Amino acid sequence: MTSFPVLRPTHLRRRTLIFGVGAALALGTGAAIVAPDALATPKPAASQPSVPGTCTPLSASLTASNEQFSSSAEAAAPDTARIQSALNSCAGSGKAVELKANGGKNAFLSGPLSIGSNEVLLVDAGVTLYASRKPSDYQISGGNKCGTITSSSSDGCKSFISLSGSGAGLMGTRSSSGSQGIVDGRGGQDMLGTSTTWWALAASAKSSGNQNNPKLVQSNGASNLTLYDVDLINSPMYHVLLKGGSGATVWGVRIKTPSNSRNTDGIDPEDISNVTINDAYIQDGDDCISVKSDAGTAASHITVENTHCWGTHGLSIGSQTAGGVNNVTFLNDTLAGTDTGGITSSSNNGVRVKSAADRGGLVTSVVYQNICMTGVKDLIVIDPNYSGGGSGSSIPNFADITLNGIVSVHSASSAQSTLNGYNSSHPAGLKLENIKLDVTKTTAQYANIGLYKSNITASGTGVKVSNISGSGSVPSCSFPSFPAL
C-alpha cells in the first residue's frame, strides 16, 4: 500500500487534507478524499504564508448597516486617503498596514487602493474593508464610463485593490473561531446615485453590450504575490485576476458571491507562471478557477489543490489559450453544482477545458487528479468551440490532458460529458484513468482517447480509443461545508 504525501500546512488549524489509499482523514471542515496510488507531480510546493509584522496600524472609525454607510461617507469614502498614505509609507518594508477594530467600530470604507512592492494590506478578523459604491471613484482616465454598458469591450474601471508591486500581499488574520478579515465589493448594492446594482448591470450587459464593473483584486505584471487567510465577497466582477508576472501563492482564501452574479470569477491566473492555490473555498457566478493565456505569454506551472467550489462554472482552462497553457495540475478538489443559497449554476460544469479559433493555442501537460463532483450537469467538458467557436486562425490544440480519479455523484438527470478536439489535424489528446461517473452519457469527435479503469468511453467522427497502462484507483469522496464567514 502506497500513500502520497501532499503539501500540508504546518498548523493543525488549517483544513488541508491527509490522503492515503483505503482511508481518509479530514481536519476541521475539510473534505476527505482517498488518493490513488500514483498521483500527478505538481509544481514545486509553495510553503504556507505567514503574516508579517505591522508597519502601520489603522483603527476603524465606522460601522456598517446592511453594507451601507451614511450619505456623506458614501459620497466621499473616508478611508481611501489614509489607507493609501500608509501603504505608500510602508512600501518596501516587508511589513503590513493593519486594519484594526476600534471597540464597536469595525468597518473601513475606501475607493481603489494600490499595494506596492514588498508590503501587505492586512485585514484583522472581525474587520471588513468595504468598496465604494461610487462608479466615478473607479474611473480610468480616457476609458469607457465606469458603471455603464458600452459597445466597446475596453475596461473603464480600476480594480478595487491593485497588487501593483512585486512582493505585494493581501492578507487577513484568522480568529480561534475561524473568522477572517473580509474585503466586501458590495456588488449587490445599488451604485451610488442609481437604482441599479453592479450585478444587475452585468446581467443587462449579457444581451446588450459590455459591462464596465471593477474587479475586486487584480495584479498586472507583478511577481511573488500573496493572498492569505482573507475573505473576498460580493465582487462586482472577477474576484481575483492575477495577470502576468511569475510567482503567486493564494492560500486560505474564501470567496463568496451568489451563483447568479454574472462574470464574478473566483481566481483567474492569466499569462502567469508558478502559481499555487491551496485551501480555497469558492462560490461565485462564473468559473471557480480559470487558467488562461493571451497571445505571446503562456500560463504555466500552476497547481490548484484542496480547493472547493460551489455553484460555479467549473475548474477551467481557458477560454483564452492563445499564448499556451502548460504544466497545470488540479489536485484533490471538489465541486458542487449548487451554491450555499440553493442557486444552481447557469453553466454547471465540473472539469472544463475550453477555447475557440479566435483565442486558441496549445494546451499540454494538464492533469486533473482526484476531482469529486456532486450535483453537476456537464461533468467533463473538452470544448474547442466555446461560445460558438468564433472565427480566426488561433486554433485550439488540446494535446495532452490527463484525467485520473474523477468521480461524480447526484448528477443532474441530463448530465453528460463532451470530449471534442477541433478537427482531424488538431485532435484532443486525452487519458481517462480511474473514472467513475454516475451518468456516463458521452459525446466526442476528433479525439485520441486512452482508457484505464474508466466507466465512460466514446465514439464519433475522428475518435480513436485505446486501452492504456495506468495506475491508481478511484477516489472515495466527501464534500465539505462552506465555512462560516
Among all residues, which ones are annotated catalytic? 286, 313
CB 201 within 8 A of CB 207: no
CB 265 within 8 A of CB 243: no
Cα–Cα distances (Å) from 220 to 122, 147, 302, in that order, read: 20, 22, 17
Q: Which cell numbers in the block locate residue 361?
A: 493555442
CB 335 within 8 A of CB 371: yes
CB 58 within 8 A of CB 98: yes
Largest CA distance in the chain: 68
Q: Which cell numbers in the block locate residue 52?
A: 508579517
Q: Which cell numbers in the block locate residue 346?
A: 447557469
SS (H, E, C) the chain: CCCCCCCCCCCCCCCCCEEECCEEECCCCCCCECCCCCCCCCCCCCCCCCCCCEEEEEECCECCECCECCHHHHHCCCCHHHHHHHHHHHCCCCCEEEEECECCECEEEECCEEECCCCEEEECCCCEEEECCCHHHHECCCCCCCCCEECCCCCCECCCEEECCCCCEEEECECCCCCEEEEECCCCCECCCCCCEHHHHHHHHHHHCEECCCCCEEEECCCCEEEECEEEECCCCCCEEEECCEEEEEECCEEECCCCCCCCCCEEEECCEEEEEECCEEECCCCCEEEEECCCCCEEEEEEECCEEECCCCEEEEEEECCCEEEEEEEEEEEECECCCCCECCCCEEEEEECCCECCCEEEEEEEEEEEEECCCEEEEEECCHHHCCCCCECCEECCEEEEEEEEECCCCCCEEEEECCECCECEEEEEEEEECCCCCEEEECEEEEEEEECCCCCCCCEEEEECCCCCCCCCECCCCCCCC
* d(C-alpha 128, C-alpha 149), whole Å: 29
